[in-house]
Structure 1
């Protein structure tokens, strides 16, 4: 039993990257099993990762904070809690270290998952009255027998005796989570007191009073509720204090993009022309030839609905492993380029191979930050693999040496405010990559596009005068969004679009970050 302390900034980045890689592997493996028809793909993925030693901190039992897991991090599956070492039970609410691994010879609790499912539970955030485990049917609320001081209950009692802090994860119902649940890590608590006596059901229950340790980051669950209240206010056409505009895009996005500043009087985001998407030149047409439709000429339904190559030429161009997107619109895996159906295709706008064309699906805002000047943060929960937004600006054509070949109307002739698509690291390789795990032979076909270089963009974006909100996304070496090149139908392969997808589960009010390749 150890406490893990991380002090150096470089070490924080390293352990955060380890946690992210473990979660990426879990999500990739879970996705493969889910597409294969497994009803509990999350638990099957966990079993695979446990058997292959891919879960973190299994060889040590950590008391206190888990390196690389931050207060406010959210998880869609309990299995994920085990993958990162935050909790060690698939069903039980109390995670503990057994007596034979503790020098004092007594079990010690290290974490609890609180769902508020017991009649005697009470929670105001800073103080949690937690009813111990046992004494009721698995899916019941009322106790039908007395609880006993055994297993997790006994471990919590010894955590109180020895002053051992306990990690608290709160479970919330969430319609936008694929599991219909959301697990929010709310930090460390101390067991302040214990009582044993009749509960509201009349049976004896163990009640533990847990008090949050001061000095931690704000409660993730409190932030979650604050974000929900904020979005309800904004949806009611009310401009809360600190908001300089309710929609930076002036209706050009399908969802409003508010701007918030409670730091100073800087209004610079309002001083440029907003363009929701770049204006790319059309593909070249050879003299004397007519451009032919390449897919879906006679389609009446959406393309790419099955995990076979199918009849859609656009889907087939995406390489092995089937369609680019899952049924819920999340990206299956990163690719050198994703080929979506385009304007000359016959499939409808609802086609599952047109995800980015439907625009933003999550509420975001530009905000003033004391740490990063201006930034962008989520107002909704964003699932990993979900489309976030397009990176927009004026298109400036360049030659192979990076020199200007032509300028778009209104573009700057100087290099200030230039975004070069070639400078973004290939973070897309990390998304959907299950290569760390050895999967059964009946798993889906591995991708055949792994060695493809993909198109080489022959343009840069000038964001100095006209842009959308994406250039305000901050840089990070451990980002939570990544760039995926996307082409549509017969689009010009020299001008792939820069689409941003979520790499992590991004909770409300969490800042977005991207790896711009700074220093490369």
Structure 2
């Protein structure tokens, strides 16, 4: 038995694939529902809730409101209290590390179609060119996002559009990571491997989850830093 997912717009239009969904969002100039929110995989259970089983400790949000979506913390294993986490949405460079945030350092595209035509988007072309730095030196023409999903591993990274680009920040098809956390995550105590992070929702293959950059301190320190 095969299953299919079809979205029905308020006007009655049936949207059967990601291309039709993307065209509908652009035609209606929708700026509050984004392409990455849609999933056509019938095996992704979007309405299945996840609840911890009688936790010893539970913190609703370790980000203290820094994220639009809370990041909870739970210990269902023992009475060990959760770690002291200093959460930051901004990058915190170590001594001697310089992060260039100047707009002059960025390359911007001139797209006005939401970067749907990848051949004309200079930012996407940077992604393609970088893919040639892998062993063999072959440029991967399929590198980058496809309807806000990453279909294959890309070790050379993605050059997303930025504040110097002329494309819309909401409608651009080459902006995803910069929109931040969009799924429910939870810091939890494992049986034998310490603390880990899990997702509380089913997500489609190739979806963006989060950026994680951490700093591990010695036992003499009682704090750890998590950066989204």
TM-score class normalised by the smaller sequence = 0.5 to 0.7
| Residue 342 (structure 1) shift | 1.9
The answer as to whether partners of 2:44 and 2:204 remain within 8 angstroms in 1 is no
Q: Name the counterpart of 2:173.
A: 352
Report whether the alignment pairs 1:372 with 2:193: yes
| Residue 301 (structure 1) shift | 4.4
Following the alignment from structure 1 to structure 2, what is the Cα–Cα distance between the partners of residues 373 and 262? 12
Q: Name the counterpart of 1:338.
A: 158
Gaps of 5+ in 1: 1-33, 38-174, 185-223, 232-239, 395-411, 418-463, 471-520
Following the alignment from structure 1 to structure 2, what is the Cα–Cα distance between the partners of residues 337 and 251? 29
Structure number with larger C-alpha Rg? 1
The 1:228/1:358 distance shift into structure 2, 3 A limit, reads: same
Q: Name the counterpart of 1:278.
A: 91
The 1:386/1:291 distance shift into structure 2, 3 A limit, reads: same
| Residue 357 (structure 1) shift | 0.7
Report whether the alignment pairs 1:324 with 2:134: no
The structure 1 residue matched to 2:225, chosen from 438, 462, 466, is 466
Gaps of 5+ in 2: 1-16, 21-36, 129-139
Q: Normalised by the size of structure 2, how large is the TM-score?
A: 0.61
Q: Which has the higher strand share?
A: 1
The 1:229/1:314 distance shift into structure 2, 3 A limit, reads: closer
Q: Name the counterpart of 2:12.
A: none
The structure 1 residue matched to 2:43, chosen from 182, 185, 192, is 182
Alignment of 1:55-454 (within 5 A): 177-179=39-41, 181-182=42-43, 228=49, 230=51, 242-269=56-83, 271-279=84-92, 281-283=98-100, 291=104, 294-296=107-109, 298-303=110-115, 305-306=116-117, 308-310=118-120, 312-319=121-128, 320-321=140-141, 324-327=144-147, 329-335=148-154, 336-350=156-170, 351-393=172-214, 416=218
Alignment of 1:27-46 (within 5 A): none
* CA deviations over 1:349-397 (Å, ceiling 9, x no partner): 2222111011122111111221322222221001211111111246xxx
Q: Normalised by the size of structure 1, how large is the TM-score?
A: 0.29
Q: How many pairs does the alignment contain?
A: 175
* CA deviations over 1:80-106 (Å, ceiling 9, x no partner): xxxxxxxxxxxxxxxxxxxxxxxxxxx
The 1:467/1:332 distance shift into structure 2, 3 A limit, reads: same
Alpha carbon RMSD of aligned pairs, Å? 3.8
| Residue 247 (structure 1) shift | 0.5
Following the alignment from structure 1 to structure 2, what is the Cα–Cα distance between the partners of residues 35 and 349? 19
* CA deviations over 1:326-346 (Å, ceiling 9, x no partner): 21x211332212111123323
Following the alignment from structure 2 to structure 1, what is the Cα–Cα distance between the partners of residues 77 and 146? 41
